[in-house]
Amino acid sequence: MENTVLKVEDFSAYFGDNKILKEINLTVTKNIVAALMGPSGCGKTTLIRCVNRMHELIPGTRISGRMRLNDQDIYSMEPIVLRRKVGMVFQKPNPFPTMSIYENVIAGYKLNGIRRPREEFDNIVEQSLKKAALWNEVKDNLHRKGTFLSGGQQQRLCIARALAMNPEILLLDEPTSALDPKSTSQIEELFVELKQNVTMLLVTHNIAQAARVSDVTAFIYLGELVEFGPTEKMFTVPKDKRTEEYLTGKFG
C-alpha cells in the first residue's frame, strides 16, 4: 500500500471522561475523496480535527492510538509543521476580512513569513484560484477584499487558500452546509475535479452528498466506525444493519 496517504490505527479521542471516538481504523489512499458521514454528534468532525490536531485548541482533550500521514507519525510532529501539510476548509467560509483576494490565497505563505519572488506568488495565486474554479470570476478584482464575494465564492477562495500550500491532504469540514444549493453543486463538482491534485477527507451529514462525490465512505455512529468501504458498495449493499437503517432514514 505505497499509495496510502492517511492511516488511522486504533485511534480513540476523549473529551474529559467522554470517549468520543472509539478505536477507529481507517486508511485513505491517494487522489480520492473519502467521506465521513454520520448523524450530528457522532464524532466525525472530531476525527478530522484530530488529523491536523486542531482539537488540541480545546482544553481537556486527549487521544490514544496512531495516525500517520504519508508514513509520518502525526502526533510526533510539531502541530505548526503538520498544519502546513494538511489543508482545511471549514463549515463557514472564513476568508481573512482584512486581506484582499490575492493576499488571502497566499495567506499561508505571508502569515508564516515564507518569502517568494513576486512572480512566483502571482503564479501560485493564479494556479490555486484556477484549481478552485474561481479564477475567471475574480481575476479582474484580485486586490479587492475577499469578503465582498458571495458565500459560495468565499468558500472557493478558502479552498484556493488551502490548495496554495500544496497540502498532502485536504480536510473538508461540512464545507457546503452554510451554502445555497447552486453553490453547493458547484463546490461538489469542484471536489471531483480536484481529485487529480489532492486527496480529500470530507465530513458531511448529507448522505446524498457522500454518494455524489466520494469514492470511499466511512459511516460513524456514536464514535464507532460502523462501516468503511467503497461508496458504491456501501450505498447498494451495506454490510451492517445500522448503516442500512441510517441510509434509509430510520435515524440520524
Partner 1 sequence: MERHIGVRLVKDMAFKGLICLLAFASALPLFLILYYITKNGIAVIDWSFLLNLPRPIGETGGGIASAIVGTMMLIILSGVISIPFGIATGIYLSENKEGKLSNTVRLCVIVLQGTPSIVIGIIAYIWVVAPLKTFSAISGGIALSIMMLPVIIKTTEETLKLIPYHLKEASLALGVPYYKTILKVVLPAGLSGITTGILLSVARITGETAPLLFTAFGNQFMNLNILKPIDSLPYRIFYYAMSPYPEWHTFAWGASFILVVFTLAFNLIARGISAKWKIQF
Write out the residues near partner 1 by the rule CB under 8 A.
Answer: 52, 54, 57, 79-88, 90-92, 94-98, 107-108, 111-113, 145, 147, 158, 161-162, 165
CB-wise, 167 or 238, nearer to partner 1? 167
Kindly state the smallest distance separating residue 226's Cβ from partner 1, in Å. 28
> Which is nearer to partner 1, 1 or 80 (by Cβ)?
80
DSSP letters for 67-88 = EEETTEEGGGS-HHHHHHHEEE
* Best CA proximity match to 207, nearest among 235, 237, 168: 235
Minimum separation from the CB atom of position 116 to partner 1 (A): 15
| Cell numbers standing for residue 156 | 472557493
Closest contact distance (angstroms) between CB of 118 and partner 1 is 20
Least distance (Å) between residue 78 CB and partner 1? 9
Cα–Cα distances (Å) from 68 to 29, 90, 118, 208, 215, in that order, read 12, 22, 35, 29, 21
Using DSSP, state whether 216 is helix, strand or coil.
Answer: strand
- Please name which of 84, 90, 95 lies closest in space to residue 157, comparing C-alpha atoms: 95
Smaller CB distance to partner 1: residue 165 or 210?
165
CB nearer to partner 1: give 155 or 231: 155
Burial class (CB within 10 angstroms; exposed 0-12, middle 13-18, buried 19+) of 172: buried
Q: What are phi and psi of 237, to 5 degrees?
A: -125, 75
Q: Which is nearer to partner 1, 84 or 228 (CB)?
A: 84
In the complex, least distance from residue 115 CB atom to partner 1, rounded to whole angstroms: 15
